Chains A and B, each alone.
Chain A
């Protein structure tokens, strides 16, 4: 009973907030609705027993990706009237995309109603007692090790690429060298002198 209630609660909020993401007039509100949708999708994943993926969804999408979105939208002051102006131009493309997505959903539903996927009959069913972090880890670091490391390499290259693209050498800036500042002692910087009257000191 509680599962069913929780499912309908999460599912309704996901759908409503996804719809509001598209229709919201204020871009910041749109991002916030998107975050709510992510968050409730994580709730749905917890319900099906994929708690690891759910937590990763919250940490990665809600905690990092959406924060970046929010930053960009807040700082860029996007003019929505101007964006709307292109509506007619892109309407055809949008319609094609929408039809494609709808067809995919229909195919998925058709496959699902043709017969349930029997999880127990997979080649290597996950034992009930193994938490799904361990199950994923075992597969990821044994069978799919090279694919996994390949994915890591792609991300590394992407990161270095982003740094190279945005890096600029600033020559004029004077950087603080904390080690040198800490190593500086009074006797290096000051000196006691006994200048004669009218003699002054040599610098």
Chain B
């Protein structure tokens, strides 16, 4: 797009690059917001069908405009900042959550050579950004100056930090197999795995357990059921969002769902072939890669809501046990296993 601005409007390279990047950011951020609105609707419909209810069906045809109506309602409400709250931090916290959920999209490849920032350290960038997500929650809990949000913030922070460790090790085994931190290279490395015409690391028996661990960890990382202890309504009211109202609350809502879509995209990109078609057949490459990625994201989103609708909530000690005593040793062991296998097959053992 940089060249478009340079040739069409005769701008110097710096300005053309700046404008092009700005356009690209909007091209990613606006559809993500729209997708969030539609996915909230989809989520509610899926739970409703699983509970034999109808779900939202009043606003617009089939209730399609429900999320927009909710958004408008929230927008018109008054923002109430508790008198005892730390005002600046109270308002900054939801903004952090929302921003962090959006910035990771910069490195997600939508097609071959179609990522906003195709950087060498793409996966590390993802880790860095997701480690920032904790701040939105801790700050909300502390700045609210209220007991339930504070408890919830501590729970959420401990949970996110714990599962990030497992996610880190899972990513390392992927990086070793693909030989790069760059997400586009990782996707390209998934072409016809093990000589079969299937695209995606999940087929690899050495990486499949890591795909499962990553999926469960991404449920925990996004605070979705069955790991939504930070917002366990029977014990903590609404968790760290208890004191929030109006737009600040909506920002949490949006950020949470943006994170969920992002985690679906990462699952799809890292293990299920990303923008590649599911089978390595030439005719399937005629379909644009972005469509394949969207289909995979939507499938993962369906599984996310399926889990939320059917699996009961974990107890907190069980959650910590799963993270530290099962996933951490398992993924650490798998790093050894994968690196050992690669030493044997690719590098060769020096005598």
Contact = CB atoms under 8 A, between A and B. Distances in A.
B131 interface: yes
B333 interface: no
B161 A64 contact: yes
B121 interface: yes
A133 B157 contact: no
A63 B138 CA distance: 12
Nearest to B134: A67
A58 B132 contact: yes
A63 B132 contact: yes
Interface stretch (A48-56, A81-89, A149-157): A48-56
Task: Please report whether the interface of chain B is mostly helix, strand, loop or mixed according to DSSP.
Answer: helix
Interface in A9-23: none
B14 interface: yes
Nearest to A70: B138
Interface string A168-198: 0000000010100000000000000000000
Contacts of A58: 128, 131-132
Interface in B92-146: 119-121, 124-125, 127-128, 131-132, 134-135, 138-139, 142
Nearest to A28: B142
A59 interface: yes
A118 to B, nearest CB: 25
Contacts of A71: 138, 154, 157
A176 B157 CA distance: 24
A63 B120 contact: no
A74 B18 CA distance: 40
A59 B128 contact: yes
B127 A59 contact: yes
B164 interface: yes
A63 B128 contact: yes
A62 interface: yes
Contacts of B134: 63, 67
A58 B18 CA distance: 25
Interface string A74-100: 100000000000000000000000000
Interface residues of A, number: 23
Contacts of A2: 14, 17-18
Nearest to A75: B154
A123 interface: no
A47 B14 CA distance: 16
Contacts of B271: none
A57 to B, nearest CB: 9
Contacts of B334: none
Nearest to B143: A28
B161 A67 contact: yes
A41 interface: no
B135 A55 contact: no
17 contacts: A2-B18, A32-B89, A35-B135, A55-B125, A55-B128, A58-B128, A58-B131, A59-B124, A59-B127, A59-B128, A62-B128, A62-B132, A70-B135, A70-B138, A71-B138, A71-B154, A178-B318
Q: Give the 10 A-B residue pairs with the shortest CB-CB distance, closest first.
A: A63-B131, A55-B124, A58-B128, A131-B120, A59-B128, A51-B121, A55-B121, A55-B128, A74-B142, A1-B14
Interface of B: 14, 17-18, 86, 89, 119-121, 124-125, 127-128, 131-132, 134-135, 138-139, 142, 154, 157, 161, 164, 181, 317-318
